[in-house]
């Protein structure tokens, strides 16, 4: 009798596990069928940023991103004095003293062939000439981030080959610092600062310099997070009254990126005893909102290291108008994104007002990507459908938005990987002109966005935000062009022939068709 009961329990358990296995495989199968981008060629193709800014005498690190089978050897002609290229890894390092724009020709060679492409290195005061691309810990790990998880994300960036498509930054968000509100978590209970005021990482991050060095050794860059207030949004240590000291610390550790999040600064800016411009909604807002960012902006600039400066204050006081004045390289334009259609599409359509302010070194940031395994400490597969994910990546690329993955890098399924390795789409995001697409047509939740590209061509997104499939037309007159254009479908990497006057196509509900319109011969 007892054996009989055990058998029944075993039977039930196996039925449950078989059905959940088949559910997950059918989910993955349906995702696979949504794959649009053909696999990368075995021949070399050079990807990533075509223009790269560095300040004189700052440490230089640029990895030539290239797809194609390995081994691959790299070479470059025209490199400015002070830079060397590792021919096996494609990593360029060194220091350049002389300001100027240098035209470099980089080459990648394997047994199938050779690719070459121009890289413009601009030694001057502006960095991040194309939108940052990489990963940030928040949308997946939130308060549970650790050095081990960051190191694993670094390894995954290389192992999955994402590094070969230009994905670069490995950014630690909140919770690398100590936190005295989460009393139950012993890993966060250390002092905020040592006796000399130096910020202390929590015990999950025992060796910040070692971690940044490791990230660099892989050809990637490291990012960090803080707040102008005394506490971050997660109530960890912020940089209030330690701005220069913290910037020095980040630089000594070797970090290349800082996300600076308003959070508890709101209380400081409302307190007349603090001696800072008050954020009082009485016409003084942009001065008060910019003030704490200008302090850290100057502190970062004083370092002998290029640190991309990401302002996070959710678009307050029209940050896009003054972000460049505080040395900001990108700025969040809205509140936090979550992985729903409503959140992503609402944020996406709100970008029109700031689009004209996008420029090399200065980008609007509609927040991080919500694809793959996300979930702020409780990860799950994104709730966006494949069509919605194509909309997300297409729109962010058209907007010249920073592309920061927020997912578990060790759980990238075939669909997600395909979605973020389409080099023709990434090229739209990384276009050196740095413009953000403008909505040129919008009716009944059908939108057409157009982005001028450096080579004189135009990227056009036809978006269907309605609940039914629909035919959408991109009219040349709305795009301000005339004559014949070659039309190329960028997700499918397929030429669609020549069109005059308009391009018309059917678009799935919540989906997109992303094309490039080229003049003949381009
Ligand atoms: C929010 C910010 C998020 C994340 C979080 C950390 O204010 O928008 O992206 O950084 O704080 O606590």
- Active-site residue (options: 155, 285, 336, 352): 336
263 Cα nearest atom in ligand 1: 7
pLDDT reported for residue 1: 46
Ligand 1 atom 1, closest CA? 233
34 falls within a domain: no
- Pairing mode of beta strands 373-374, 380-381: antiparallel
One domain, residues 460 and 321: no
| Residue nearest to ligand 1 atom 5, measured at CA | 233
Kindly report whether the global pTM for this prediction surpasses the value 0.85.
yes
Does 336 qualify as catalytic in the annotation? yes
Domain count, the chain: 3
Ligand 1 site, residue 427, Cβ cutoff 6 A: no
- The active-site residue, picked from 246, 261, 408, 423, is 261
261 C-alpha to ligand 1 centroid (Å): 7
H, E, C per residue of 64-119:
CEEECCCCCEEEEECCCCCEEECCCCCEEEECCCCCEEEEEEEEEEECCEEEEEEE
CA 317 – CA 310 distance, rounded (Å): 16
Residues 287 and 220 grouped into a single domain: yes
Predicted local distance difference test score (pLDDT) of residue 205: 98
CA of 331 to the centre of ligand 1 (A): 13
- Regarding whether 511 and 455 lie in a shared domain, the answer is yes
Tell me the two tokens of residue 456. Answer: 């004189």
Which of 123, 155, 187 is the C-terminal boundary of a domain?
123
Closest CA to 164 of 102, 115, 224: 115
Helix axes 208-217, 243-253, angle to 10 degrees: 50
Encoding tokens for residue 184? 């139950």
CB 178 within 8 A of CB 188: yes
Give me the CATH number covering residue 387: 3.20.20.70
Ligand 1 atom 11: residue of nearest CA: 233
Give yes or no: residues 221 and 113 share one domain.
no
Span from the CA of 478 to the centroid of ligand 1 (angstroms) = 38
Q: Known catalytic residue: 352?
A: no
Place of tokens 């810990």: 137
Task: Note whether 282 and 345 are same-domain residues.
Answer: yes
Q: What is the pLDDT of residue 253?
A: 98
Q: Is residue 262 part of a domain?
A: yes
CATH of the domain at 73: 2.60.40.10
Ligand 1 center–CA 174 separation, angstroms? 7
d(CA 337, CA 369): 8
Question: What range defines the domain where residue 271 resides?
Answer: 133-429
- Co-location of 442 and 394 in the same domain: no
pLDDT of residue 22: 53
The verdict on residue 49 lying in a domain is yes
Dist. CA 207–CA 371, nearest whole Å: 30
Which stretches in the chain have pLDDT values below 50? 1-2, 13, 16-21
Claim to verify: residue 103 and residue 243 sit in the same structural domain: no
In a domain, 378, yes or no: yes
Query: Computed over its alpha carbons, how large is the radius of gyration of the chain?
Result: 24
Confirm whether 233 is domain-assigned. yes
């Amino acid at each position: 009798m007892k054996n009989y009961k055990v058998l029944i329990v075993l039977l039930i358990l196996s039925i449950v596990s078989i059905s959940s296995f088949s559910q997950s495989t059918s989910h993955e199968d349906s995702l696979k069928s949504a794959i649009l981008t053909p696999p990368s060629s075995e021949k070399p193709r050079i990807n990533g940023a075509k223009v790269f800014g560095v300040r004189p005498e700052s440490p230089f690190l640029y990895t030539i991103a290239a797809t194609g089978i390995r081994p691959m050897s790299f070479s470059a002609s025209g490199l400015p004095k002070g830079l060397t290229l590792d021919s096996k890894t494609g990593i360029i390092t060194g220091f350049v003293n002389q300001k100027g724009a240098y035209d470099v020709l980089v080459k990648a060679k394997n047994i199938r062939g050779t690719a070459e492409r121009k890289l413009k290195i601009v030694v001057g005061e502006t960095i991040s000439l194309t939108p940052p691309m990489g990963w940030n810990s928040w949308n997946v790990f939130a308060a549970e981030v650790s050095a081990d998880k960051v190191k694993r994300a670094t390894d995954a960036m290389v192992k999955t080959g994402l590094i070969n498509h230009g994905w670069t930054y490995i950014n630690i968000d909140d919770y690398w610092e100590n936190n005295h509100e989460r009393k139950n978590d012993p890993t966060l209970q250390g002092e905020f600062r040592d006796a000399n005021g130096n910020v202390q990482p929590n015990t999950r991050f025992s060796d910040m310099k070692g971690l940044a060095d490791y990230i660099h050794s892989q050809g990637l860059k490291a990012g960090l997070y803080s707040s102008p207030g005394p506490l971050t949004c997660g109530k960890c240590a912020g940089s209030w009254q330690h701005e220069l000291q913290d910037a020095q610390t980040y630089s000594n550790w070797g970090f290349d990126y800082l996300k600076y999040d308003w959070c508890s600064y709101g209380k400081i800016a409302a307190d007349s005893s603090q001696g800072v411009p008050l954020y009082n909604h009485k016409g003084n807002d942009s001065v008060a909102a910019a003030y704490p960012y200008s302090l850290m902006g100057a502190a970062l600039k004083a370092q002998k290291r290029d640190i991309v400066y990401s302002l996070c204050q959710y678009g307050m006081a029209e940050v896009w108008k003054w972000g460049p004045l505080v040395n900001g390289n990108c700025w969040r334009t809205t509140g936090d994104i979550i992985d729903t259609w409503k959140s992503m599409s609402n944020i996406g359509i709100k970008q029109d007002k700031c689009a004209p302010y996008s420029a090399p070194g200065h980008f609007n940031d509609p927040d991080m990507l919500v694809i793959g395994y996300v979930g702020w400490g409780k990860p799950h597969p994104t709730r966006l459908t494949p069509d919605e994910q194509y909309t997300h990546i297409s729109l962010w690329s058209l907007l010249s938005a920073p592309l920061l993955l927020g997912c578990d890098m060790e759980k990238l399924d075939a669909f997600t990987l395909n979605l973020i390795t389409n080099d023709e789409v990434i090229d739209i995001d990384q276009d050196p002109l740095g413009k953000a697409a403008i909505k040129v047509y919008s009716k009944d939740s059908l939108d057409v966005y157009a982005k001028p590209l450096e080579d004189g061509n135009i990227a056009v997104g036809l978006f269907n935000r309605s609940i039914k499939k629909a035919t959408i037309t991109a009219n040349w007159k709305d795009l301000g062009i005339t004559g014949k254009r070659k039309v190329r479908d960028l997700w499918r990497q397929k030429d669609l022939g020549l069109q005059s006057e308009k391009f018309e196509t059917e678009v799935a509900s919540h989906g997109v068709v992303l094309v490039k319109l080229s003049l003949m011969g381009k």
